Amino acid sequence: MTGHLVAGLVAGYGIAVPVGAVATYLVALTARTSLRVGASAALGVATADGLYALVATVAGAAAARVVAPAVGPLRLLSAAGLVFLAARAARAAAVRYRDPGEAAAPRAAHPPTPARAYATFLGITLLNPMTVVYFAALVVGTGTGAEPDRLGQAVFTGAAFAASASWQLLLAGGGALLGRALTGRRGRLVTALTSSAVITALAAHLLAGA
């Protein structure tokens, strides 16, 4: 079981630690809303990673072969979703900056609920087909022609989820600290526009690989 645990932790951190568009949006969302919303979003990302880890352990390399034909369309959907979120965040920041009544407000006027943040981040993470390909390449205990190690699969999946969740929650915590440091109108505007630009650039890079 130790081998499955270590493999799951390594796999979870391996997919979670590289900072991409979703991680950037997670930090920005937490900065302009609250740690509760950010933590819910973080758990949405971790849930998607855990589900893909489960699919990989149960289906093994077959999962990658099934997903492969849909990589292109899913990449387009993922990029489109990220660009939409970036544009919406930038527009909301500009509106708040121009509205004098929002000058003293440290948080967004209509922040998403924790449930909505969870569902949004679960969805955009599930749209990333490379996640299941990644986990399929690292799958352990699936075996060929032998009885699969169900306990090992469960340990691997749980460890991958825990690793991803711990990293995403760390990012959310960083976003909450950033939000407290940049409570002024100009600071919040610059933060939102910068994160939107980064997300758009990362989405363009995703499209370039299509």
DSSP the chain: -HHHHHHHHHHHHHHHSS--HHHHHHHHHHHHS-HHHHHHHHHHHHHHHHHHHHHHHHHTHHHHHHHGGGHHHHHHHHHHHHHHHHHHHHHHHHHHHH-GGGTT--S-SSPPPHHHHHHHHHHHHHT-THHHHHHHHH--S--SSS---HHHHHHHHHHHHHHHHHHHHHHHHHHHHHHHH--SHHHHHHHHHHHHHHHHHHHHHHHHT-
User: What is the per-residue pLDDT across 127-176, written as a single tens digit (0 to 9) for each?
Assistant: 876 666 666 555 543 444 445 577 887 888 899 899 999 999 998 998 88
Give the separation between CA 116 and CA 25, rounded to whole angstroms. 14
Q: Are 175 and 107 in contact (CB under 8 A)?
A: no
pLDDT digits (tens, 9 = 90+) for 18-65: 657 788 889 888 988 889 999 999 999 999 988 888 877 777 656 556
Q: Is 70 exposed, middle or buried (0-12, 13-18, 19+ CB in 10 A)?
A: exposed
Dmax of the chain from CA atoms? 68
More confident residue, 102 or 199: 199
Which of these, 6, 14, 5, 33, lies nearest to 131 by C-alpha position?
A: 14
Which residue is it, tokens 């965040």?
A: 89
pTM over 0.85: no
Q: How much of the chain, in percent, has pLDDT values that exceed 90?
A: 18
Q: How confident is the model at residue 87 (pLDDT cuts 50, 70, 90)?
A: confident
Structure tokens at 122: 């679960």
At residue 185 the predicted structure's pLDDT band, cuts being 50, 70 and 90, is: low
Q: Which of 81-95, 98-112, 136-150 has the weakest average pLDDT? A: 136-150
